[in-house]
A and B are shown apart, each in its own frame.
Chain A
Amino acid sequence: MKPSTVVIKPMPSRFKHQVPKYKVTRSDACINCGMCAKSCPYGVHERIEGHNRMRPPIDYKCIGYECRKNDEFYCVYQCPRKALSLSLNPMYETLGDCRWTSDMIIATWIMAETGYPPERTDIGYQIGNSEGGFDKLRLKFPENPPKVERDEISTEIRLNRRNDGRADVLISTPLYGGGMSFGSVSLPTMLSKAHNAKIWNTFTCTGEGGYPEMLYPYDDHVITQVATGLFGVREETIQRVKIVEFKYAQGAKPGLGGHLLGEKNTESVSRMREAVQGTSLFSPFPFHSVYSIEDHKKHIDWIKEMNPKALVSVKVSTPNDVDMVAVGSYYAGAHIIHIDGGYGGTGAAPDIAKKNIAMPIEYAIPKVHNFLKDEGARDAVTLIASGGIRTAHDLVKAICLGADGAVIGTAELVALECVRCGNCESGRGCARGIASTDSELADLFDEQWATQRIVNLYHAWNFQLVEILQKFGMKSVSELVGRTDLLEHVDYS
C-alpha cells in the first residue's frame, strides 16, 4: 500500500523527442491526403493547418507492430497509396546495453512519466539481456492462489529486528535510495531523491561527502554515511538521522578507495568535507581502524553511543567471504546488512573493477541469507541487497533469494532520463544534468519535476510488487523472503 503522501501526477519528458523504437517511412507515393494524420490516435502523423505537405512522421510516438491489430487506424493499412511502411529504428540499438536494455530504459521512462508500468506490450522490460543472474530467473506463479485484494496487501518492512529498544523504523515499500555524494550528483537530483524518500516514507543516503543543509527538512528519511575517508562526518550529522551507514566498500569498485579529483573539490564541497579546497581527496580502503570484527564492533558502539536512537547499517561489497562478514556485522551489533553486488552503479570506476571484482548480487544474497539462517541470526537482522536491481522484477527475485528489501541507484537516475552513457565524471560531468555540478548543466531540470518522476517510478514498482504478491496470494512482502521455490532458473531443472 502506498502512503497517503504519494500523489501520482503525469510528468512528461523534459526533451522534445524521445528515442524511437520504430521508424515510419513515407515514400514518394504519398499524395499528402492527410488520411494518416486523421486516423493515427498517437500523433505520429501531422500536417500543420494550411500546409500542403505532411510533416515527417514523429517516430517515437509510434507503438509499432502491435498496431496492426487496429484495423481502423493502423496507418500502413489505412494509407490509400500504400506509401507508409514500418521498421525497427536503427537508433534504438544505440540506446542501452545488455544489462539495461533499450526497452528497460524506455519502460522506466514511461513509469517515471505515468506512475504505472507501460501499457504497451511491445516493450520487454522485466528482464534484461545479460544472460545470467536475474535475467535467467523467472517467477513461478501458482495456478490457484488464495484470493487477496490489492488493498489487503502490505509492502511495508521493518528495519530494526534486534529488539534492542531502539526505534522500530518501518518503510512503506521495500526499497530505498542509494548513496550518492554531494558533488557526484546535481543538487536537484540529490534533493529530489530525499524528497521522494519523505513522500514514500523510506530513505535516501548521503553517500560519503557530508550532509548538506538542504537535506535538513528530510532528516528523518536520510541515512548518513560513515565511509573510509570519514569526510564530512561530525557528531552533529550522526545525531541528526535515524540510520547511520558504515560503508566498507562499493560493489562497482570493491577494494579500491574513492578518489575525488582536485578540480571537483570546489569551495562548497571542501567546506562540506572539511578539507582544503582544490586538493585531491582519497578515501582509503579499507577503514584503517578496522582489521577485525572486534574493531568493527568498536565503531558500531561508537555510533550507538553518539546517537542512542539510530539504527546502524553496514554496507559491504560481495567477496567470497561475504557471508562471514555479514554474520560478523550482526554480532557486532548492526541492524541492517547491506550487500552491494559487483555489477552495481557508480559515478566513476575503473572498467576493470566494474567488470571483474567480487561476485554478482544474485549469488551473494542466498549465500548470506542461508549463512545467517544457519547461525540463527536471520530474524534479528535486516538484509538489504543492491548492485544491479533494475526493475520491480529484480526486486522480487532478490527478495525470493533471501533479501528483505533492496537499494536502487541507477533506476532512480534513469527516471530522471539518464541514458547510461557513462560519462558522469568526464569533463563537465553529465551532459543531461543529472550527475553534474557544472553551473549550466546542473540547471537542466528542477527539483519538482525530478521528485515527481521518482515518486512515479516508486509507485510503478510498488504497483507491480503488489500485483505479483496478489498472484502469489500473499498479504505481505515479508512472506516472500527466501522463497526460492517461487523462482525457476532457465538453466536448471
Chain B
Amino acid sequence: MPKKYHIAIQPTPLNRDFVSKFKIVRGENCINCGKCTKVCIYEAHRRGAKDPRKIDEPHMALCRNCFRCIQECPRGALVKSLDPDFSALGGSYWKPDMLLSIWKQAEDGKVPVSGAGYRGPFTGPGFDGMWTDMSEIVRPTRDGIHGREYISTAVDLGRKLNHLTFDDTGNISSKIHQTVDLPIPIIFDIPACTLSPNVTAACVMAAESAGTFAMMPAADITADIKKYANSIIPLVSHEKSTAYQTMISSARLVAIEYAPALLYDFDSVKESIKKMSQAVTIVRIPAMTGIEDAVATLARSGAEVIHIVSDYRGMEAPGLRQRFVKEVIRAVHLRLIEERIRDEVTIIVSGGIAMAEHVPKAIICGADLTAVDIPLLIALGALLYEEPEKTLTLPDGLEKMPVATASQRIVNLIGAWHSQLLEVMGAMGIREVRRLRGETGRAIFFDEIDKDTFGKLFHQREMTSI
C-alpha cells in the first residue's frame, strides 16, 4: 500500500491574543465579591494575581458567551457588548467570524466543531448560495468516519489526453504528457504584499510539509528559500522568462503571467519554457468578462494548467456585469465541456477562498483545484479590512516570528481544511476529489431550489376558499 497522505498538525499557540468577539466591562458598582470567578467555567474572571482582593479585568479571549457572569453578578455590575474592534474586521465577504475561525484552526489544526444548530443566514451571495448534498440510503459508497482513509484528495496538474491512439502493432502511439501530482486540491498563492523573509520562508516550508506548492513572483525567490525549490512555482512574465532560466530549469511547475499576446501565440511561449525545463506550465489569468473565451482559446492552443484569479472577495474584474467566482468557474467549465476539451486542461481557481467549504464548492462548480492566499497570513495573525478599502494589517513583530512556528500554523490550517474536505466528501459519498469536479448533482443551489419550491407554490396564486 502506498504511503498514506498525512498532514502533521501540532498545536501552535502564539503568545498573543487575536481579536475577541465580546467585551465585558466591570462597572464601578462591582464589590469584588468573586461570584463571577466561581460561575465562569472558562476562567475568564479571575482574582488579581498581585492583589486577590480585586477581580482582574475579564480575560475576553477565554469568554465563550455563556452569560453566567452577566446573569449571576449580585450587583448587575458586568456589561457585555460586541467588541467594536471585532465588528470592524473584514466586511461583507470576509466575515469577522471567518477570520477568528482561521486563527483557531491555525492554532490547533482541528476541524471547528460546536454545539447547537447553524447560526448564520439562510442563504447568501457567492458560495453561501449553495449547499453540498449527501445521500441517505441509495448510494452505498460512504463509510462515515471509518471510510476516511479510503477517500483520495489527490489531483494532477497538466495536460491530459482526450483519448489514446494505438499503432498497428497495438502499442500506444500517443505521447503521454507529463503531469504533477498533488495530494490535496490546494496550492498556496503567496499574497502580493511586502512580506518579511521569514513569512515567505514559512509559506514555502509549509507548502513542502503539506506536499503542495507555493506560487510566488520569480523575482522574490531569494537564496534562503531556494532549498525549497521543489515546492515553489516561480511566476514570470512570458517576455522575461529567460531571465530566470536556472530557476525554471529546476522547477516542476512554472506560472506565466497572462498577457493578451499569449492568446495568439501560446505555443512559442510554451516552447521556450520547455526548452529550459521539464516543468508543467500554468497560465495565470485574471477573472474578467469574456474569461471563458480566453480560457478556451488557451486550452485549444495547448495550455496545460490555467489559473483563474479573482479579486480577494471572489469577484471578477469590473466589466459589464461582474460575476462571483462561482459563476465564473461554472461558465468556464461548461464552455470547455461544450468544446470537448475540459478533461485536457487543469483549472486552478483563487480569490475569495476563505473557508474550508470553499474548496469543495469551487470544485463542484468546475475547478480542479484551488489556490489559497490571504488565509495564509490570517493564520499568522494578520487582520483584513474591506472598508473603506482593502487593508491587510500584519501583526507587530511578525518579522521576528520563528519560521518553524509560522510554517506550522499554516500547516495546521491546511490540515484542518483537509479534514473538512474529507468530512464533506464522506457525506457526499465521493471517494475521489477528481470525481467531484463539476459534479453539480452533489450540490443544491439556492436559486434553483427556491424557485423550484416556493416559486411554484407562490407565484401569482389565488387564495382558495376555506
Contact = CB atoms under 8 A, between A and B. Distances in A.
Contacts of A472: 466
Among B112, B138, B429, max chain A CB count under 10 A is at B138
Given A248-B137, A492-B454, A425 B466 contact: no
Among A142, A228, A254, A357, max chain B CB count under 10 A is at A357
A425 B121 contact: no
B113 A349 contact: yes
A287 B136 CA distance: 10
Contacts of A257: 144-146
Contacts, number: 287
B66 interface: yes
B134 A254 contact: yes
Nearest to B117: A345
Interface in B220-270: none
Interface in B116-153: 116-123, 131-138, 140, 142-146
Interface string A133-147: 101100010100110
Given A19-B71, A317-B136, A351-B101, A410 B463 contact: no
B117 A343 contact: yes
Interface stretch (A28-36, A212-220, A288-296): A288-296
Contacts of B123: 131-132
Interface residues of B, number: 78
Given A91-B70, A423-B66, A431-B64, A355 B137 contact: no
Nearest to A92: B81
What is the interface of chain A mostly: helix, strand, loop, or mixed? loop
Contacts of B134: 249, 254-255, 317, 319, 357-358
Nearest to A326: B136
Given A325-B136, A352-B420, A94 B22 contact: yes
Interface string B73-100: 1111001111000000000000000000
B466 A489 contact: no
A19 B145 contact: no
B424 A425 contact: no
A293 B118 contact: no
A423 B144 contact: no
B381 interface: no
B455 interface: yes
A358 B143 CA distance: 17
Interface residues of A, number: 110
A58 B73 CA distance: 12
Interface in A5-48: 13, 15-19
A345 B116 contact: yes
B131 A142 contact: no
Interface string A296-328: 100000000000000000001101111011001
Contacts of A486: 463
Interface stretch (A79-87, A267-275, A278-286, A372-380): A278-286
Interface string A147-188: 000000000000000000000000000000000000000000
Contacts of A16: 71-74, 76
B453 interface: yes
Contact of A424 (B79, B115, B446): B115
A405 B254 CA distance: 60
B207 interface: no
Interface stretch (A66-74, A95-103, A110-118, A192-200): A95-103
A259 B146 CA distance: 11
Interface stretch (A234-242, A414-422, A447-455): A414-422
A103 to B, nearest CB: 15
A15 B74 CA distance: 10
Given A319-B133, A319-B136, A423-B66, A91 B79 contact: yes
A492 B454 CA distance: 8
Given A91-B79, A285-B144, A357-B424, A17 B118 contact: no
A320 B439 CA distance: 14
Interface in A353-405: 353-360, 362-363, 366-367, 387-388
B356 interface: yes
Given A249-B136, A255-B134, A350-B420, A422 B114 contact: yes
Nearest to A135: B122
B163 interface: no
Interface string A333-354: 0000000001111111111111
B459 A493 contact: yes
Given A56-B29, A320-B133, 18 more contacts: A91-B79, A146-B466, A248-B137, A256-B145, A256-B423, A256-B426, A284-B143, A293-B137, A319-B135, A321-B138, A355-B118, A363-B450, A410-B116, A422-B116, A427-B41, A435-B115, A441-B41, A485-B462
Interface of A: 13, 15-19, 56, 58-59, 90-91, 93-95, 97-100, 130-133, 135-136, 140, 142, 145-146, 228, 248-249, 252, 254-257, 259, 282-286, 290-293, 296, 316-317, 319-322, 324-325, 328, 342-360, 362-363, 366-367, 387-388, 410, 418-428, 430-432, 435, 441, 472-474, 484-489, 491-493
Interface of B: 22, 27, 29, 40-42, 64-68, 70-76, 79-82, 101, 111-123, 131-138, 140, 142-146, 355-357, 361, 420, 423-424, 426-429, 441, 444, 446, 449-450, 453-455, 457-464, 466
Nearest 5 CB-CB pairings of A with B: A132-B122, A255-B427, A424-B115, A285-B144, A257-B144
22 contacts: A17-B70, A98-B119, A248-B137, A255-B426, A284-B146, A286-B144, A296-B137, A317-B136, A343-B117, A350-B112, A352-B111, A352-B112, A353-B424, A357-B427, A366-B453, A421-B65, A422-B116, A425-B115, A431-B42, A431-B66, A489-B454, A493-B458
